[in-house]
Amino acid sequence: MMPACRPALALVHRWVGLVMAGFLLLAGLTGALLAWNEELDAWASPRLLRAAPPAPGAPMLDPLALRQRVQALHPEAYAAMAYLQQEPGRAAVVRLFGLPNPATGQPVEPPNDQVFVNPYTGEVLGERKWGDISQGLKNLMPFVYRLHFELALGVVGSYAFGIVALLWTLDCFVGAYLTFPARTRHGPAPVRARAKPWLARWWSSWRLRWRAGGYKLNFDLHRAGGLWVWAMLFVLAWSGVAFNLHAEVYDPVMRTLFAHQSDEASLARPQRLNLTPALDWDSAREAGRRLMAE
């Protein structure tokens, strides 16, 4: 690339960084909270997520029995998800999905899609619509989760984050290029011959000039700090593309460059929801256990 392109790339690097700053700040803060998602969720809504055992060592009810109890309480929805592994002191969670409207065939979204049950007694502790902050503090962490992945704006926010992640990915290479030393094309031939090798000149981009003053030190922190963690920044940026622009960008690129296993989105899906499958819940669990043992 010609040296004349460097000022233009520096301008692009600057403006892309300014555009990304707000998005990355939001993603970083919400991501830091999500590192303690379960603990903060239980803190924000202990009545829903905590269930103290009635006595030390008290047994917990079968998760599928709890699912069946929730299903009986909500005939207008389908309890299609239940966690088989239960932690002592925590409520069991059953997920509700909308049933198809007989007239239109489209699923009708239930008013609440998470039901919390005491695993020791089977008592329903409460419900919530996951991520709906209008329901109050009980949806704080699900709302933080939505902010982190889609700005709480649904598909629009997801695409916005994906575009920012794609810009970040490309900017990783622009920023790396700007740290490369300029070619020594000018000057007499003896001067060019005495110039340091390219790698020796690039080495200065990795160092900090501690005594060079505030501006130069700040510039070095930006340039050298970016080089030190460049690989990690690239992985974070490209993973953001994978999460938010999977089918549009990530999958085509990775399929072109590497052997790529098809994901579940490419599998054939039934046209209608089958509420009476060949295996009931208990039989499916037993089949799963048998296959895992094999």
DSSP 71-127: HHH-TTEEEEEE-S---TTB-EEEEEEEPBPTTT-PBPPPS--EEEE-TTT--EEEE
Query: Is this prediction's pTM over 0.75?
Result: yes
Residue 93 token pair: 């969670």
- Residue 135 gets the label, from left (phi > 0), alpha (psi -120 to 50) or beta, of alpha
Q: Could you tell me what percent of the chain has a pLDDT over 70?
A: 93
The per-residue pLDDT for range 150-201, each reduced to its tens digit, is: 999 999 999 999 999 999 999 999 999 999 987 766 555 555 555 678 788 8
Residue 255 token pair: 């399929």
Residue owning tokens 């929805």: 77
The per-residue pLDDT for range 5-28, each reduced to its tens digit, is: 888 999 999 999 999 999 999 999
- What is the distance between the alpha carbons of residues 207 and 224, in angstroms, rounded to a whole number? 6
Mean pLDDT across the stretch 113-121?
A: 96
The per-residue pLDDT for range 268-277, each reduced to its tens digit, is: 777 777 778 8
Residue owning tokens 């080495």: 203
- What is the distance between the alpha carbons of residues 283 and 289, in angstroms, rounded to a whole number? 10
CB 131 within 8 A of CB 112: no
- What is the distance between the alpha carbons of residues 49 and 29, in angstroms, rounded to a whole number? 24
DSSP-based three-state secondary structure for 28 = helix
Distances (CA, A) of 64 to 16, 58, 99, 209: 51, 18, 20, 64
DSSP strand pairing (114-117 vs 77-82):
unpaired
- What is the distance between the alpha carbons of residues 125 and 49, in angstroms, rounded to a whole number? 8
